[in-house]
A = this chain, B = another copy of it.
């Protein structure tokens, strides 16, 4: 058994929000079930955002409730604010992830608030959640931490400042998110070290996009720096409606292939994961799925191959 790595599937949220068509609710549920059956232990299943803005997420309450019936699945919903967090709690979500854009321009486009005002919103969510009967984790995602398609460069000192404020606001953990996919391996190494120095193991996760083809290499550096949780999306779906030029998340299948080949243990069955692509493709037939493992097939040297 290798060292465990948590691969969090974000396709039902980050992937589908960019889809041109809307995946039917029952297909979403079958897709989430298939991924959980393949061994995916944590899925960001949707977001509680205004359906007018992101109609693909209008059924998130129903998706959360169905996902809670899947054994051993940790169910996460993205929420932009306290109201969303309260809805997620009512539906029974195990955790919420709240985006906080480090870039001011992206923060205003995404949440209509500046970065530090959004940290205050996170603080309200944390404070509210602590008064509830049932525990619900509150995680934060430091969006555009590696650059922004509107603001360009994002100073590393600013990322550390926002991360520090989030830790102080009491989040359970946080992610560094390369929302637009401009990050490079040297930058990932520097930033993981700087944020770890400021907030320690509260920095838990990397959320990487593959815009420039460096997503998997950036994940590798995170791994080398001790990160053990990674977001990814089946078929490399994804993007950000408020980040022009961004493209998809790193491909779950390719990430799992790399991790397992290197001797890490994701507990994910790659064959079964590839089969779940069929459900995904069936639900959004006009979208192009990415992924090298799917295209080339699992090679005979794969350590988990029969």
- Cβ of A182 < 8 Å from any Cβ of B? yes
Task: Say yes or no: A186-B292 contact (C-beta < 8 A), given A217-B217, A297-B245, A301-B153.
Answer: no
Q: Which residue of B lies closest to A250 (CB)?
A: B213
- Cβ of A293 < 8 Å from any Cβ of B? yes
B residues within 8 A CB of A295? 247
- Cβ of A187 < 8 Å from any Cβ of B? yes
Task: Say yes or no: A261-B299 contact (C-beta < 8 A), given A213-B251, A293-B213.
Answer: no
- Minimum CB–CB distance for A296 against chain B, Å: 5
Check A292–B212 contact: CB distance below 8 A: yes
Q: Which residue of B lies closest to A262 (CB)?
A: B186
Q: Which 5 A-B pairs have the closest CB atoms?
A: A213-B292, A184-B261, A213-B254, A186-B262, A217-B217
Taking a contact as CB atoms closer than 8 A, the residue among B186, B213, B297 that contacts A291 in the complex is B213
- Cβ of A282 < 8 Å from any Cβ of B? no
Within 8 A of B (CB), among A38-92: none
- Cβ of A24 < 8 Å from any Cβ of B? no
Oligomer: number of copies: 2
- Cβ of A216 < 8 Å from any Cβ of B? yes
- Cβ of A185 < 8 Å from any Cβ of B? yes
B residues within 8 A CB of A247? 292, 295-296
CA distance A296 to B178 in the complex (A): 15
Which residues of A does B touch, CB under 8 Å?
147, 149, 152-153, 180-182, 184-187, 210-214, 216-217, 219-221, 245, 247, 251, 254, 257-258, 261-263, 291-293, 295-297, 299-301
Check A301–B182 contact: CB distance below 8 A: yes
Q: Which residue of B lies closest to A147 (CB)?
A: B301
B residues within 8 A CB of A182? 299, 301
19 A–B contacts from the bound complex (CB under 8 Å): A180-B299, A182-B299, A184-B261, A184-B262, A185-B220, A186-B262, A187-B261, A211-B299, A212-B258, A212-B299, A213-B251, A213-B258, A213-B291, A213-B293, A214-B292, A217-B220, A217-B258, A220-B220, A247-B296
CA distance A214 to B147 in the complex (A): 23
B residues within 8 A CB of A258? 184-185, 212-214, 217
Taking a contact as CB atoms closer than 8 A, the residue among B212, B262, B293, B297 that contacts A293 in the complex is B212
CA distance A291 to B210 in the complex (A): 11
Q: Which residue of B lies closest to A251 (CB)?
A: B213
B residues within 8 A CB of A149? 299-300
Check B220–A147 contact: CB distance below 8 A: no
Check B186–A261 contact: CB distance below 8 A: yes
Check A147–B299 contact: CB distance below 8 A: yes
- Minimum CB–CB distance for A253 against chain B, Å: 8
